[in-house]
Amino acid sequence: MAISFQYNKTSLQGLEKQLKIRERSLPTIKNKESALRLEVKRAKDEEKSLAALLESEIARYEGMHALWNEFDGSLIAVKDVTITTRKVAGVRIPQLDEVVFEGRPYNMFSAPKWYADGVEMLKSLARIGIEHDFCVHKLGLLEYARKKVTQKVNLFEKVQIPGYQDAIRKIKRYMEDEENLSKSSQKIVKTRQAAEKAAESEIAMNINEEEEAL
């Protein structure tokens, strides 16, 4: 990104102000990036753990495949999911609080004895599946936020701060050269004026000598 500037003191002051803002902000942004990287790692570990647990529950479910043919799937359903929002490294993340199930009563005497365990197994499977989905969504939000912050760090660190520093150096060098040129010009003018005065004095002296000789 090219930094636009002019070779004057006002432009220099503006650039120095922008540079200071970025230099002060950079450590904070880097800290946020580090925090987000840590949260992303935690979310990835949590997602892997939940995925393994879900796979284990599914395997247990499939191990009872023959029995599930007798099960009435309408006995249990997810009624609602309650969530809250919390900030993680400055990013608003939805958090699963509770999975509310709705059960239909059944005759415990006529139904197979394992129905109660089956209901609990389905609840566990649904709860873990929903929790895993929330974790994947959280991971996506954290990854996106981390990428945006990393882009900002790179923009400040590799583009804008060096760009402002270079522009400031150019303006200062130009102003120094201009000042040196001005001083040199003044010196030349003073030398010329002194020479002219000396010449005038010499002419005046010559005239006086000629007049005296006459």
Residue 122: predicted pLDDT: 83
In 3D space, the residue among 43, 57, 52, 23 whose CA is nearest the CA of residue 93 turns out to be 43
Total structural domains in the chain?
A: 1
Is 19 within a domain? no
Give Cβ neighbours of residue 115 (< 8 Å, ≥ 6 apart).
Answer: 71, 75, 106, 108
Q: Which domain, by its residues, includes 104? A: 26-145
CA distance 45 to 141: 15
Is 189 within a domain? no
Residue 196: predicted pLDDT: 63
Is 125 within a domain? yes
CA distance 150 to 153: 5
Residue 109: predicted pLDDT: 65
Beta strand 76-88 with 91-103 is antiparallel
Residue 120: predicted pLDDT: 83
Is 35 within a domain? yes
Residue 209: predicted pLDDT: 58
> How far are the Cα atoms of 194, 195, 200 from residue 208, in angstroms, in the given order?
21, 20, 12
pLDDT in tens, the chain (214 residues): 678 888 898 999 999 999 999 999 999 999 999 999 999 999 999 999 999 999 888 887 776 666 666 777 677 888 899 999 988 878 888 888 889 988 777 666 666 677 777 788 888 888 999 999 999 999 999 999 999 999 999 999 999 999 999 999 999 998 888 877 767 666 776 767 666 676 566 665 655 655 565 5
Is 82 within a domain? yes
- pTM, 2 dp: 0.72
Is 205 within a domain? no
Is 96 within a domain? yes
Percent of the chain with pLDDT over 70: 78
Bridge partner residues of 89 (DSSP): none
